[in-house]
Amino acid sequence: MTASLGCGNPTALAELRPGEVVLDLGSGGGIDVLLSARRVGPDGFAYGLDMTDEMLALARQNQRQAGVKNVEFLKGGIEAIPLPDHSVDVIISNCVINLSADKDRVFAEARRVLKPGGRFAVSDVVRRRDVRPELQRSIELWVGCVAGTLEERDYLARLEKAGCVQSSIEPTRVYEAKDAAQFLAEAGFDTEQIAHEVDGAFMSAFIRAETPPAVS
């Protein structure tokens, strides 16, 4: 099975329960979908959504090899999720939302498909402060998904604007200049001199939010 290209482990952090319906935004080779399907068990279901035929073919091949039945891989953009309103208990995603050019649309779609009291449990790269564009470009060569990152407070504000509640961000890995030393050196930067600008500016994080519970 081809390894994950993501930046975290959302299935481990999402606390999936038997019987739940899970949706992975940007499912790639499908590993998180297959792991989720096992966690939700035969009474649950896991959907993977990806826009590229190549990744969907790989994911379906991995599904056949794993022999997992309660899974479907859907083709489409995470900005227009091909599932009905209130049909999903948990949305997971691993290093994909930062790639979207229309994140507000993604959050609105996530809110639409989640059931009342549903959970958004996503790994993503998040910016903690701005860095000079020329430094950012070198860091992008190392962590590709740095390009479209949201600043952490902005991330939470957009989730709340989409109608989510209880949103929070938990760092899983904070990046330092020495981690990107080779790329920064190749671009002509002295890693020690610019460390204070780069250290801690980007992190992989686990982002949680919920949809409001049903009113009885």
Ligand X SMILES: C[S@@+](CC[C@H](N)C(=O)[O-])C[C@H]1O[C@@H](n2cnc3c(N)ncnc32)[C@H](O)[C@@H]1O
Q: Interface with ligand X by CB under 6 A: which residues?
A: 4-6, 26-29, 32, 50-52, 55, 77-79, 94-96, 99-100
Measured CA to CA, the distance from residue 48 to residue 55 in angstroms comes to 10
The least CB distance from residue 28 to ligand X, in Å, is 3
Backbone phi, psi, residue 116, to 5°: -55, 135
3-state helix, strand and coil shares in percent for the chain, rounded to the nearest 5: 40, 25, 35
Please give the sequence-ordered ranges of beta strands (E in DSSP) within the chain, or none if there are none. 21-25, 45-50, 71-75, 88-94, 114-127, 150-151, 165-174, 202-210
Measured CA to CA, the distance from residue 195 to residue 83 in angstroms comes to 45
**Cβ(126)–Cβ(155) below 8 Å:** yes
The least CB distance from residue 98 to ligand X, in Å, is 9
The least CB distance from residue 45 to ligand X, in Å, is 18
C-beta closer to ligand X: residue 127 or 177: 127
The least CB distance from residue 196 to ligand X, in Å, is 29
The least CB distance from residue 148 to ligand X, in Å, is 10
C-beta closer to ligand X: residue 28 or 44: 28
C-beta closer to ligand X: residue 94 or 177: 94
C-beta closer to ligand X: residue 95 or 156: 95
C-beta closer to ligand X: residue 167 or 204: 204
C-beta closer to ligand X: residue 170 or 190: 170
Q: At 69, is the secondary structure helix, strand, or coil?
A: coil
**Cβ(20)–Cβ(52) below 8 Å:** no
Backbone phi, psi, residue 209, to 5°: -155, 165
The least CB distance from residue 116 to ligand X, in Å, is 25
